[in-house]
Amino acid sequence: MKSLEDLKKIREDMQKQMNLRAGDENRTRVVVGMATCGIAAGARPVLTAFVDEVSRRNLQQVMVTQTGCVGICRLEPVVEVFEPGKEKVTYVKLTEEKVKKIVSEHLANGRVVDAYTIGAAE
């Protein structure tokens, strides 16, 4: 049962981590396209899967955010990963299963999953 006490514990943990972790400009940003085209193609479960996996693995250096239409509606759900000092990686036609692999391979271990990138799809 989720209780308000659990939430207070999360608050305390988050406040400790916020003091320790890098500023937002030094964190990896995962940006999910959430326009109507993305929503209709399945972007909502993709976004919630990123949130779940990032929470489960306690990846403090990763931020999950949203944007509108990325402009490639036929390849939705589309997710862009911005790592400080590296080139942007665009993942396309994502599913919840693919998200798990991207989080474990790319976000946790720094290995881009080439098979899911726009380069492999085009």
Partner 1 sequence: MKELALNILDIAQNSIAAGASQIAIAVRESMAADQLTISVKDNGCGMEPEFLAKVTDPFTTTRKTRKVGMGIPLLKMEAEMSGGGLRIESKKGKGTSLTACFKRSHMDRPPLGDVVGTLMVLIQGAPDLEFTYTKETDQSAFQFSTAQVRALLGGVSLSEPDVLVWIRGYVEEGELELL
Residues at the interface with partner 1 (CB under 8 A): 1-2, 4, 6-8, 10-11, 13-15, 18, 34, 36, 39-40, 44-45, 47-48, 51-52, 54-55, 64-66, 69
Nearest approach, Cβ of 19 to partner 1 (angstroms)? 12
Nearest approach, Cβ of 114 to partner 1 (angstroms)? 26
Nearest approach, Cβ of 106 to partner 1 (angstroms)? 16
Which residues touch 105 (CB under 8 Å, ≥6 apart)? 111, 112, 113
Q: Report H helices in the chain.
A: 4-20, 36-41, 43-56, 96-102, 118-121
